[in-house]
Each structure stands twice: as structure tokens, then as C-alpha cells.
Chain A
Amino acid sequence: MKRKYSVGNGLSFLLLAGVVGYFIGLGIDAVIMKNIRWTAPVPSAFSLLCAFTAFFFGVYGYRGITRGLVYQVVWTLIGGLLVTGIRALLGLSAFGGFFFTEPAWVFGALVGAVAFLFGVGVMDDWVKWARGIDTPEFHEDEPGWEKYLGVSLDHKVIGIQYTVTALFLIAVGGTFALIFRTELAASGLQFLNVGMNLFGQNGPQLYNTLMSLHGMIMIVSILLGIAGIINYAVPMLVGAHDMAFPRLNAFAYWVSVPAAVLLLMSLVLGGFDTGWTGYPPLSVKAPVGQQMFFLGVFVAGWSSILGALNVIATVVRMRAKGMTAWRMPILVWASVATSLIALTATQLIGLSFQLVMFQRLFGMGFFDPAKGGNPVLFQHLFWFYSHPAVYVFVLPGLGVISELLPVFVRKPLFGYRWVAMSSLGIALVGFLVWAHHMFTSGMNEYLRVPFMYSTLLVAVPTGVKFFSWVATIWNGKISTPTPMLFVLGAIVVFLMGGLSGPPNATISVDLHLHDTYFIVGHFHDTIFGGFVFPFFAAIYYWFPKATGRRMSEFWGKVHFWLMTPSFFVLTFGMMRVGLLGMRRRIADYDPAQGFDTTHLILTIAAFAIALSVLIFLINFFHSIKHGEKAEGNIWNSRSPEWQVPSPMPAHNYETPFEVVGEPYDYGLPGAKYIEFMPAQGGKH
């Protein structure tokens, strides 16, 4: 009985359902459109959805995520049909080029996303509460890996769910990047041209869709990745048995799954061509895919907001005895700073996207100059979130760097309080700089100089971090296992990214740099240095805590030494062509500008990065079962979670601990950070 479900099963189901789904879609499309359209979006959409659902069915059976996906598909259709029916009754056009009309798709997609939550089962307890039924504090999870595909309230399970989802999205977004990088390898359209018809799109249109989705999927994957790190680590670091609101925590994770489905649906429903920023009026004119993109981001935003709320409440209310503010591990500080931004600013990107959605659906003229609207207003609302968001991306990563450095250097974190305060400083100043993305936008002229000042100010707290790191490393006894390699890589890469920030912030220079590959290079550097490298470091570091096994050191080092140089080539090349005049978001470039060779090298570097990530993924999944056993404190860390054997028990510390010293007193004889309290019994 136990082996009824398996990955092999899932894969064969995936293939089968993909084909079956395609023909179902083809049939539906043919009935409605009275025409067999082989490359129409509807068959591909059905194919994809059926394939995904069937995969999970084969792996896991009809429960948890499978049920959620089925609910989502079915209710999307029901919701869409409802609107279609109403429209038919009102005498409006019932079906459109993408099968449903735009309002029907939007409503259906919204209903489908909510239905997913009911299907997967995260709403069960709340529904019971609403009916006045109490539910137990803890759910027992299934043993083994199966708990990861259903609703669990355990923050460690949720942390891993986030992490794996993030890795999946990185792979998807990265694959998109590989596709469009292939097109960019030479000027002219060789690959994404007429012959390449995907979901009814081709040529530059397809390029635009892939490029835009690459941006947003990667950004969502970052949000999920940091949620993974924070969820996994923070409760353990503060000595709590779970997050403050475990159900809300599960909810926040499961919201992100239908969000990802919505984002991918935009690929199928005509795509969109605005980049991840979705500026109107272009985003008002784009196909239905744009709406799915907006909706997907909107839903993912809720994941971010609720997750942030939970983190703050956990840190404020659930710390172990004796853990005063100045004795919190540094990653906890970083998580709080991040969460403060995510909690508040995220609402604004939600609002800005919602306004465009309404402009499209109801003709509301927010950003339509003909109706007295203002296109630049959108940019203000959008960047009010999206700038602080970049600090959401990096603060936890910088926290990971600060957290791991002392362990591998065997020295206290230099200037702990300064490093902690610099996170808050970055977060707060980060709220005041958004308009540096708009120096050329035609906004009020007098705003530009103040925003230049505030933007440059961010360099100060960031510098404090860098200098403190260097001082920590200085004179340490440094060893370099894989996590430390990624930490060191992160510092150098983020430094390059950070230093390419001030030129963008100085207005006159930005007038040249804006919307070029220099910016693309800048943010790949900051994102890789601030998120991707630390994320890998964190995975290599905490993997044994989660599984009781460690990942292969050898392949870890191969991963690092392949990825880092390729990455330098990639971003240096980007900045170089950018300075020489390569615009962003173009499918094809003027051969006269002489970028062909550089772009070819960039594409090769991109594939090398992908290869290294592939190695990582194999190492990751292989080590879960076959890695070398590592149950003790293998990094010789002072952090509380390493004082108990791995893997961590379900409700964390069996005996609570009390904080009795400073977190990073490496090298101080007799110093202790925590002390386990004598057992009292009856408490977890």
C-alpha cells in the first residue's frame, strides 16, 4: 500500500494528462470558436494544468496540493462560465479570442485562487472557528516527505515548502532566461522568430512575455526564498516552538501556489509585454495575460504581507527567556527589518496593479490622460513598494551573511549593534528613495535632487555592514566549507552591485544609464549577492539541520567555482554593453552597435550558471536520502538550533532554553549563549 504513489507514477501521469488535456482544450476551443486552432492558447492551458495536477496525483493522490489544483482548475472554469453566462444574458459578447472574455478570466481566476485554498485544506480550521468549533493547537504531520505536499502547521515544514517552491520557480524563471538569452546571442531574430510559435505568440512578442515573466517569477521566487529562510530559521533562533500564528503561516505559504499558477497562466493567455513593472498605458493595451500577471502578483503579495505580520509577531512575542533585543541573533534583526517593509509597502504594489486592472475592466481612467488620469502616478505607487522591495530581497540575505561569518571565522560579529541597526536604517531610508527609478519619467523636476540625496544615503548603513564584515574576517581563523564560500562570494558580488548603485542615483549619469543593460547588470549583481548567494549558503548550512544529512562538499564546491566566475562574466558584460548603449527589454539589437561578440559570451555564461544550478539541484535532492550523515553540531556553531541533535524534532526544543550571554562570543573562554532549563514537564 505504501508505495502506491511515486515520482515515476507522477511523471507518467504528467505525460498522459498533458496530451489528454491538450485535446480536451482543443475540443472546447473548437466548439466555442467553431474552428480547430492547434496553436491556440486554450489547448496549451488545459494541457499544462492537467499535466501539473496529474503529476501531483501520481505522486501524492487526491488530497493536499492535488485537490487544491483540481479545485483551482474547476472553479476557474465555473467562475468564468458564470460571468460568460451573465454577459450572454446582458447581450454582451460572451466569448473572446482566448475562449473567455477578459472579465470572465479575471473573475474566474480569482475564484479559482480562492478555491485552491479551500481545496488544499488551509481554510478548514478557520471555517470551523467561524462555526464556533475549537480546533487543536497542533496537527500531527504525516511522517516522511508526504507532509510537504499537504497542509502542515509546522514552521519547519512550511519553511522547506517555501524553499522548494522558490527553487522550482528559480528553475522556471531561469529557463525563460536561457530561452531569451539564446535569442540575444546574436543580432537579428534567429531563435524567437516566426518559426517559434509558443502559446500563440512568436517573435518579439514572445520575447517580451518571457522576459517580463522571467523578471516577475524570479522576484516572486526571491520573496518565497526569503520566506523559506525566515520561516525555517527564525522560530528556532528565538527559541519558539513555532510561529506566532501557525495557521496563518500555512495560509501565507499556500496562497503563493495559486499565485504562481496565475503567473504561469499569463504566459498562456496571450502573454504581456510590459516588463515586470507593468507601466500603463502599455499595460492597459496588452492581452489578457497582463491581467493574470497582475492578479498573480496581487495574490503573491498577500503571502508576503501575512508572512511578514507573522514574523514580527513571533519575534515580539515568542522569544525565549532572557533574549533581550541586543541578544537576538542578527538574522532575526534582519528579518524584522524586512518584515516591516513587506508588511506595509506591499499594499501599494497591490493597489497600483489593482487600479490598472480596474482601468482595463471598467474603463476607470486613473492613468488615462484622456480622462484626466496620470500615467506617472502609477509609477509612484508602484515604486513606493518596488524600491523598498529590493531591500526586502537583500536584508535577510545580508542577515545570513552576518549570521554565518562568525561561525566560520571563529570570531564575534564585529560591531553587532551597528550591524543590527544598519538593517533598520536601510529599511527606513529605503522608504524615501523610490523616485530614483523615475528620473527620466517626466515627474516634477524639483523632486529629483532630494531623491538623489536620500538614495545616496542608503550607501551609509550598507557600508557599515561591509566594513563590519571585513573587520570580522580580519584576523579570524577562517575555514571555507561550501556555505562559507557562498558567503564570501555574496560579499564580493553584492559589493559590485552596491557600488554600481550610486552612479544610477546621481541624476545626470542616470539619464544615460536608465533603462540600459547597465541597470540590468546592477540588479543582477545586487540580487545575486544579496539573495541568490546567501540563499545557497543558507541551504548548504541548514540542510543538515533539516535532514540529518549534509550535501556533498565536492559538488558544492563545483557549484560555487562554476557559478561565481560565470556570474562575473555575465554581469560585467551586461554593464559593459549597457554603458555603450544597449537598451533593456529589446529582442533584437542594432548590429552597428557592435554588441554581438559580448552578447554571445553572455549567453554562454548564462548557460554555465544554469549548469551549476542544475548540479546544485541534483546534489540537493540526492543528499536528502544519500548524503553523509550529520546529526551533531557539524559547524561547531553557538546558535541554539545546533545545540540539539538534527533533524530538529517536530516542536523544536524539547526543553526550553534561557539566554545567558551574547550570541557570537566565539573565542571567549567559558562564554555561553544559551542554557537549557531544567525540565518542567508538560510543555513544548
Chain B
Amino acid sequence: MAHKQDKASMLNQGVFIFVYLAILTVLEFLVAASFNSTAVLIAVALVKGALVVYYYMHVYKLSADHEGDHNSYEYKTGTNRLGLWLFLISDAFVFGGLLVMRMNLLGLTRPHLNQLLGLGVTSILLISSFFMNRGETMIAHGDRKGFLNNTLITFLLGLGFLIGVVFVEWRLAAHEGLTPSSGAAGAVFYMMTGMHAFHVLTGLVFLAIVWINGRRGLYDEKHYPVEAAAVYWHFVDVVWIVFYPALYLVGTAIV
């Protein structure tokens, strides 16, 4: 696999992928607004998720095998990667379960939510993934300053997302009568966004840790922690890529 590339082409690749993601998101929104087709929405979400998984989370690194000494840093990093991915697979089952619950309880209806806000927070999270990818690429090429700046931006965007969902969207929804105890739709909405927000929160903690440690001068060739925080962050993004249509776009809104 072509994962040993120079910095500039890696950064460019990040930009391209981001543009694709942005276009697809707008497309998705328009599809939902015009001829709401569940199949198209699912297809778009799958494509977006696959792009992030491949280009931002670089799954292919899993198959890159380092022969030789089991105690070398490279070999251990390979093991760590596997461990992290196993964890993500496990975690994905929670979100899968939440989706099943959502389909079972709400079917082709959805809670009545603020569409612009939804699109807004979704964009923020996507943009944060873009910057995270830049940050990781930079530390991989020894650019500490670039890494710190981009990670900070990621962190702030992530915080913005969290505030947008928990402090703005939850309030708005509650104001409109959608509360956790108001019925199945409310329960599903708060459960799904809440569970995701909890993961965003842990992601923010990881980002804060690598940022602080990065400032202290850690992470030279041995920058696996940054990669791990990044992969985790993108994972949270992938989850939202699926949750966003599931909550905001699929089916018809009920009041």
C-alpha cells in the first residue's frame, strides 16, 4: 500500500477527500429535502463512511506487517493498531444496536428537529476531521508546530459540535416538547445523540492529552498516540455520518 508518501501529497489527498465529503453531505441534505429516498441516503452515508475509514483512518495500515523483533517499536505499534481497531469494532456494535432500536421504534418517521442546526453541527464535525488529518500528517513528517495548531483547531471544532448538540439542539428540542420522557422519539433522539456526545467528549480528552504532551515535546518518530487519537476522532465522525441521516433525514418528521 502506498502509505509512505511525502507530506504535500498526503495533505493534498486530505483536501480532496474533504471536498468529496462536503459535496456528498450537501447532496444528502438536498436528497432528503426533495425526494426523500432512504436507499440513496444509506448509499451516501456508506460512501462517506468508507472515504473516512480508508483515507483518514487508514485501515490499510493494519495489514502492513512488520516482521522481526516482537519488542521493536514498529511491531508494537502494529499490535496497538490492531487493538484499537478491535476496540472500534466492538464499539460499533453499540451504535449498531442504537440504529436497530431507532428503526424498530420509529421506522420511517423521525423526530422533528432543526434542520439547519443539524447540517451545521455535521459540517463542524466533518471539518474537524479534516484538520485532524492535517495534524496527524504533520507530526508524521516532523512538523510539530503544524501538528499543534491543527489539533487545537480540531479540538475547538469538536467542542463547538458538543455545544451545538448538547446545549443548543437539546434545548431547542426540549423547548418544542421533545424531551427524554415525552415518548419513543424523544427517547431515541436523546439516547443516540447522548451516546455519541459521550464519545465526542472522550475524543476531546484524548485530543487534549496529545496536544499538551505535544507541546511538552513528546512525539518524534514515536507518534503513535497522535495516530490513535486521530483514528478515534475519525471514528466518532463516522458514527455521526450514519447518525445524522438516521436522525435528521430519513423518513418523515413527526411532531
- Residues in A lying within 8 Å of B, measured CB to CB: 129-132, 240, 244-245, 248, 305, 309-310, 312-313, 316-318, 343-348, 350-352, 355, 358-359, 362-366, 371-374, 377, 380-381, 384, 683
Contact = CB atoms under 8 A, between A and B. Distances in A.
A488 to B, nearest CB: 36
Interface stretch (B7-15, B121-129, B181-189): B181-189
The 10 closest A-B pairs by CB, nearest first: A363-B181, A372-B184, A364-B187, A347-B93, A132-B213, A351-B97, A317-B79, A362-B180, A309-B86, A347-B94
Contacts of A131: 213
A377 B101 contact: yes
A365 B183 contact: yes
B191 A305 contact: no
B181 A381 contact: no
B91 interface: yes
B4 interface: no
A309 B185 contact: no
B79 A365 contact: no
Nearest to B208: A130
B209 A130 contact: yes
A363 B78 CA distance: 45
Given A374-B104, A377-B104, A365 B187 contact: yes
B94 A351 contact: yes
Best-surrounded residue of A131, A132, A355, A363 (most CB of chain B within 10 A): A132
A344 B86 CA distance: 9
A615 to B, nearest CB: 40
A284 to B, nearest CB: 13
Contacts of B34: none
A358 B191 CA distance: 9
B51 interface: no
A373 B187 CA distance: 9
Best-surrounded residue of B182, B187, B188, B213 (most CB of chain A within 10 A): B187
B184 A371 contact: yes
A245 B87 CA distance: 13
A606 to B, nearest CB: 37
Given A132-B216, A309-B87, A344-B93, A355 B101 contact: yes
B155 to A, nearest CB: 15
Interface string B214-255: 001010000001000000000000000000000000000000
Given A343-B90, A347-B91, A355-B101, A313 B79 contact: yes
Given A343-B86, A366-B187, 7 more contacts: A245-B83, A309-B90, A316-B82, A317-B70, A343-B90, A362-B180, A364-B186
A372 B209 CA distance: 42
A245 B79 CA distance: 9
A365 to B, nearest CB: 5
A309 B81 CA distance: 12
Contacts of B216: 132
B79 A244 contact: yes
A372 B184 CA distance: 5
Contacts of B26: none
Interface in B60-103: 70-71, 75, 78-79, 82-83, 86-87, 89-91, 93-94, 97-98, 100-101
B212 interface: yes
B105 A348 contact: no
Contacts, number: 107
Interface of B: 70-71, 75, 78-79, 82-83, 86-87, 89-91, 93-94, 97-98, 100-101, 104-105, 180-188, 190-191, 209, 212-213, 216, 218, 225
Contacts of A358: 180, 187, 191
6 contacts: A312-B86, A317-B70, A344-B93, A347-B94, A363-B180, A380-B100
A189 B33 CA distance: 65
Nearest to B187: A364
Contacts of A248: 83
B187 A371 contact: yes
Best-surrounded residue of B78, B105, B182 (most CB of chain A within 10 A): B105
A338 to B, nearest CB: 14
A156 to B, nearest CB: 18
A178 B107 CA distance: 47
A347 B97 contact: yes
Contacts of A245: 79, 83
B184 A365 contact: yes
A363 B181 CA distance: 5
B54 to A, nearest CB: 21
Contacts of B184: 365-366, 371-373
A350 B93 CA distance: 10
A313 B94 contact: no
A372 B105 contact: yes
A244 B83 contact: yes
A419 B170 CA distance: 53
Contacts of A344: 89-90, 93
A372 B254 CA distance: 13
B180 A347 contact: no
A355 B191 contact: yes
B187 A348 contact: no
A297 to B, nearest CB: 15
Given A309-B86, A312-B86, A364 B78 contact: no
B192 to A, nearest CB: 11
B177 to A, nearest CB: 13
A375 to B, nearest CB: 11
A351 B98 contact: yes
Contacts of B71: 683
Contacts of A130: 209, 213
Given A313-B82, A373-B184, A381-B100, A132 B212 contact: yes
A364 B83 contact: no
A313 B93 contact: no
Nearest to A366: B187
B93 A348 contact: yes
Given A132-B213, A364-B190, A372 B93 contact: no
Nearest to B87: A309
Contacts of B78: 317
Contacts of A351: 94, 97-98
Nearest to B184: A372
A340 to B, nearest CB: 10
A130 B98 CA distance: 31
B81 to A, nearest CB: 10
Given A351-B97, A358-B191, A313 B86 contact: yes
A379 to B, nearest CB: 11
Contacts of B101: 355, 366, 377, 381
Nearest to A130: B209
A281 to B, nearest CB: 14
Nearest to A317: B79
B194 to A, nearest CB: 9
Contacts of B188: 366
A245 B191 CA distance: 32
A381 B97 contact: yes
Contacts of B93: 344-345, 347-348
Nearest to A319: B70
Contacts of B86: 309, 312-313, 343
